[in-house]
Amino acid sequence: MRFIPKEKLEIIQLARYSGLGFKKTLNLFGIKPHRVWCWIRKIEDKSFAGLVDQPPIPKSIPSKHLDEEEKMVIKKAREYTHLNHRNLAHQIFRDEGIFVSESFTYRILKEQGLIRSRSVLNIEAAAQWKHQPQSPNEIWHIDISYIPCGVNEKGKTIFYYLIAVLDEYSRFVLAWDLFPDMKKERCFQIVDQAIFLANLQDTQRPKLLSDNGKQFRARKAREFFKNLLDIKQIFASPHHPETNGKIERLFKTTKYEALYRQDYSTHREAREILLNFFDYYNNHRLHQSLGYRTPREVYYKLNQDYSQRRQIAKLEKLNQRRKYWKSGDPLTISKSQKVN
């Protein structure tokens, strides 16, 4: 409970001259004696003005950043307009070798009005799938997605079908193509192409995870994968697309970050957009679930010390701030080694 200066003075006088004793008098009011002694010392130091409550003043501001860092975040945000604050913080570290935290990046973007809110539909699913690969080429995902490619003479939308194979461990897109139909032979072609591009040995075959579409469930399809390609199939639970969620998310990302942002009207133009996007997706796009590494880095086991180097840069930044507040050493931007 807070007291105004007049009330504090009355409590001090009552405790001193009540005749019950200093401590017993304060116990009747539920006030700790050390609190009243603090008031008395303030009166001795500053007279009656010492009883006025002062607003709390922090001794240090450990989260202070340089103006140059704020300007750099704003500049990079306008350069990488498609990245959220977490990816942008890691992209800055990759480009400039400078550590800025995700929270600081978000705060600057929020102040500058550069945060674009979007609605997210949360669907309940298991926290983790029971089959977790420990290295690339253990489990591949395959799926088919509709891609609108203009309209016909009757004004109806023309659909082509994107078929892709994704490595679960690294999120690396191994093979893909755009077809006018989605026959099972198209799926055979893409899986065979993925095996060739992955340069797998005859004894090394991944498991193939798919939904329950007839392209994968048909007897001829199962015989082809088992007898000709020596691949074991895994089928997702019915009405549970989350089992095949990684490639479902790939298709959503492809549409909303590439196709729907471009103006195209034919399947040839759509194929060109997809070609550029999948090159960007594999080689440049950072993934939070991969520790902000690219699928190519994880698939080929490159840049494995990225998280450790960023953590070291973070600790160096914190130590620099401590020295600044203790001894007045100037704050400078310290760069880490850039990622090739």
- ∠80-161-192 over CA atoms, to 5°? 95
Residue 126 lies in a domain: no
Give the predicted TM-score (pTM) of the model: 0.67
Residue 279, CA atoms < 13 Å, CB-side half-sphere: 6
Distance separating alpha carbons of residues 271 and 280, to the nearest angstrom: 14
Distance separating alpha carbons of residues 68 and 138, to the nearest angstrom: 45
Are 170 and 295 members of one domain?
yes
Residue 264 lies in a domain: yes
- Ramachandran bin of 87, using left for φ above 0, alpha for ψ from -120 to 50, beta for the remaining angles: alpha
Closest CA to 41 of 50, 33, 32: 50
Q: Are 205 and 229 in contact (CB under 8 A)?
A: yes
Per-residue pLDDT of the chain (340 residues; tens, 9 = 90+): 678 888 888 888 888 777 778 888 888 778 888 888 888 888 888 887 778 887 776 666 655 678 888 999 999 999 998 888 999 999 999 999 999 999 999 999 999 888 876 655 555 556 666 668 889 999 999 999 999 998 888 888 999 999 999 999 999 999 999 999 989 899 999 999 999 999 888 888 999 999 988 989 889 889 998 888 889 998 888 877 788 889 999 999 999 999 998 888 899 999 999 999 999 999 999 999 899 999 999 999 999 999 999 999 889 888 888 887 777 767 676 666 554 4
Are 295 and 308 members of one domain?
no
* Amino acid identity, position 123: I
Are 34 and 159 members of one domain?
no
CATH number at residue 213: 3.30.420.10
How many other CB atoms are there within 10 angstroms of residue 223's CB atom? 10
Are 287 and 315 members of one domain?
no
Are 151 and 294 members of one domain?
yes
Q: Which domain holds residue 85?
A: 67-116+304-327
Query: 225 in helix, strand or coil?
Result: helix
Residue 77 lies in a domain: yes
How many other CB atoms are there within 10 angstroms of residue 121's CB atom? 4
| Token reading at 256 | 């909303």
Q: Supply the angle between the helices 67-79 and 85-96 in degrees, to the nearest 10.
A: 110
